[in-house]
Each structure stands twice: as C-alpha cells, then as structure tokens.
C-alpha cells in the first residue's frame, strides 16, 4: 500500500497568516496559521496530504524579504528534502515572484515540486482567498508530488512556472500573471495540468545543491522620457556588476541621446553586464528588431527576450555567483537555463552547449 505524500510547509510570513492589530492594520502572528489550519475541518480531510509546518522566526511581511531570506528558505528545503515529497512556501505576495525566481536558480537539480502561495486577504477574515490558495496548493502537491519537478507559484486557481510570474494587481484575487508563458495548470471543477509545459525531471535526483545569491552587486533601472544620463551613470558606477535595463517596447531606448549611449558603452567596456527587458507586461526585448534597439546592442547591452525583471535579477545573481567572466554571463543571460525565457531559437545543439558550459561551475 502506497503511503500518503508528506508535504513540508515553510511558513515565511505574509498576509495569509496575519491578524488585525490594535492600530487597525495587519501584522504576522506567530503560530496563528497553524492553529487556524487545525481548526478548519477541510484541512483535516483524507484527501489532504500529511503536512508539517516550519515557521520562520521572525515572520516577515514580504516587503522585508532579502537574499539572505532566500538562502534560509532554500537551506530549510534542502535540509528536509529526503523526508518530504513536496514543499510549500507560504509567502507574502509583494515579493513572491522574486523569491520564486531566485529559488528556481538556487536549488538544482529538482525532481520534486516547490510551490509558493499566499493570499490577498488573511485567513483570519471571514471572506478571504487564503483558504482556497492554501488548500488547493496542498492538494496539488499531494496529487502530483512525483510529476511536477521544479518551482511553481499557485494563486487564484492558476499554477504558474515560478520564474515566469510577476505581480500584476494589488487589489484583486488574481494578483499574479505569467505574461509570456502559459499557466502550467488551471483549477476549476476539474484540475487541468498541461504536462507539455512541465519540465522533465530526468529520473530520481540527489538532494539539490544550494547556490547562495546576494553577494554580487546587481540592480535594475527603468528608462523614461527625458532621463538624465547622470542618474544612470551613478547607478552603473563600481561596484555594480549587472543591471536589468527596463526598456520601451521590444527593447528600445533613445538612440539620439549620445550621453546616454556613452554611459552604457563606458559601463559595458568596464565589464558591467546590462540586460534589456521590456517594460510592457507582455512581449520580448530583442535588440535586433529596431534601430533604437541596435543602438543599445552596439553599446554592449544584451537582449533578455521575454524574461521578467524578477527572473533577470535572480539570474544575474546566480551567474555572477558561479565566478563566470563577463562575456560568459552576457551569453548565458540570452539562453534558457531554468525555463525563465524563450530565446528566438532554442535548438538542441544550443541547449547542449549551455549545459556543457555550466557543468564546470556547479
């Protein structure tokens, strides 16, 4: 007889377990989430897998999340890997996509699911989205723990690849979207998983290694009409190593502003890796399409294609952590490593080249 899957819940904080304070606002309440789950009959149903809750101390509003907290999450997952079939990270919504993106690079290899979820309204409120997100995440982990390798984000009845997500709404239950990659699953009357979008685990894998992120100096800059190149020059000054440049349209920027372009050229010649992403929610930043994009390319900027800002930052952290030279980082930022982007051409030969290159740095 097969045993029931066991799920490890890493409770980091966030709205889902908050209670109203005397001042009227919400704040994380230690052990409240666990008590509430024990009190609600639905969480005791036979269909719900066995679970244990590990509470972080202190509990965090996710606005306070830092790379050191990513490391704590990754290490507690690693430490409990052999004892559980799936992992649920309960997290605040504000930086959930940053954490999901980071974990997809920090943990490797993955032959089990790591799912992040949270809520817009706390479980303590009568009307909330917390119960549905939490309960359905557990049910998905219980049902598919052996078939969903990788890092995911579940919210509002949608299961997304974690490093493809971004928060799009502060006021609705549909807080997240995966603009350039379809949801892996949808939950309605039936649970529908698009197995063609699920990565291949390649058979049983060892306990994942953990790569610490945060020691590199990376940042992001949003281009806007009338920008002063001095503000960008200050941002690009040492010790910065990598920058995510949020561009207009499909990777466009002012090509008639020579001071702006010179600032970029000076930085890339100094070894700074600058990656272009697109400001619009959907689409791709391909610097080959327009003259304004080619001006960035001539200045040493590389295309990030359809990667999100959240995933681009995590990927820069990860690649610099490998000790790679700048030209290798530039090349790999344009290649798909963890399902985070769709390059114009993703041939088996190109993927094989990427795997061989990274093998020496793991």
- pLDDT (tens, 9 = 90+) of the chain, 362 residues, equals 467 899 999 999 999 999 988 887 888 889 999 999 999 999 999 999 999 999 999 999 999 999 999 999 999 999 999 999 999 999 999 999 999 999 999 999 999 999 999 999 999 999 999 999 999 999 999 999 999 999 999 999 999 999 999 999 999 999 999 999 999 999 999 999 999 999 987 778 899 999 999 999 999 999 999 999 999 999 999 999 999 999 999 999 999 999 999 999 999 999 999 999 999 999 999 998 888 889 999 999 999 999 999 999 999 999 999 999 999 999 999 999 999 999 887 533 444 454 445 554 44
Q: Is 219 annotated as a binding residue?
A: no
Phi, psi of 59 (to 5 degrees): -70, 145
pLDDT of res. 344? 83
Cβ distance 145 to 5 under 8 Å? yes
pLDDT of res. 346? 57
Residues with catalytic roles? 15, 93
pLDDT of res. 288? 87
Q: Is 62 annotated as a binding residue?
A: yes
pLDDT of res. 2? 63
pTM for the predicted model, two decimal places: 0.94
Domains defined for the chain, CATH in brackets: 6-210 (3.40.50.1170), 218-359 (3.40.50.40)
pLDDT of res. 348? 39
pLDDT of res. 362? 41
Q: Is 94 annotated as a binding residue?
A: yes
- CA distance linking residue 355 with residue 333, whole number of Å: 14
């Amino acid at each position: 007889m097969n045993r029931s899957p066991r799920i490890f819940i890493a409770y980091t904080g966030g709205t889902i377990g908050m209670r109203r304070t005397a001042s009227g606002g919400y704040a994380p309440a230690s052990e409240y989430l666990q008590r509430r789950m024990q009190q609600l009959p639905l969480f005791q149903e036979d269909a719900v897998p066995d679970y244990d809750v590990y509470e972080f101390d202190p509990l965090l509003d996710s606005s306070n999340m830092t790379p050191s907290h990513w490391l704590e999450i990754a290490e507690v997952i690693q430490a409990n890997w052999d004892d559980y079939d799936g992992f649920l990270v309960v997290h605040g919504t504000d930086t959930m996509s940053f954490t999901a993106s980071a974990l997809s690079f920090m943990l490797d290899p993955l032959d089990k699911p790591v799912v992040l979820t949270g809520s817009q309204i706390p479980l303590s409120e009568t009307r909330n989205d917390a119960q549905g997100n939490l309960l359905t995440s557990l049910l998905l982990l219980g049902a598919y723990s052996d078939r969903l390798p990788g890092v995911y984000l579940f919210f509002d009845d949608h299961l997304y690849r974690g490093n493809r997500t971004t928060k799009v709404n502060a006021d609705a239950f549909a807080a997240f979207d995966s603009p350039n990659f379809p949801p892996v699953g949808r939950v309605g009357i039936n649970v529908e998983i698009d197995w063609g979008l699920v990565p291949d685990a390649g058979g049983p894998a060892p306990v994942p290694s953990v790569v610490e992120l945060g020691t590199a100096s990376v940042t992001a800059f949003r281009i806007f009409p009338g920008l002063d190149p001095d503000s960008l020059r200050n941002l690009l000054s040492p010790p910065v190593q990598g920058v995510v440049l949020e561009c207009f349209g499909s990777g466009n920027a002012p090509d008639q502003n020579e001071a702006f372009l010179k600032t970029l050229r000076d930085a890339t010649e100094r070894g700074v890796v600058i990656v272009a992403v697109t400001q619009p929610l959907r689409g791709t930043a391909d610097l080959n399409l327009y003259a304004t994009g080619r001006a960035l390319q001539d200045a040493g900027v590389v295309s990030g294609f359809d990667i999100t800002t959240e995933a681009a930052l995590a990927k820069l952290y990860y690649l610099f952590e490998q000790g790679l030279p700048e030209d290798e980082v530039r090349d790999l930022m344009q290649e798909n490593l963890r399902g985070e982007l769709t390059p114009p051409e993703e041939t088996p030969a190109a993927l094989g080249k990427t795997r061989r290159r990274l093998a020496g740095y793991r």
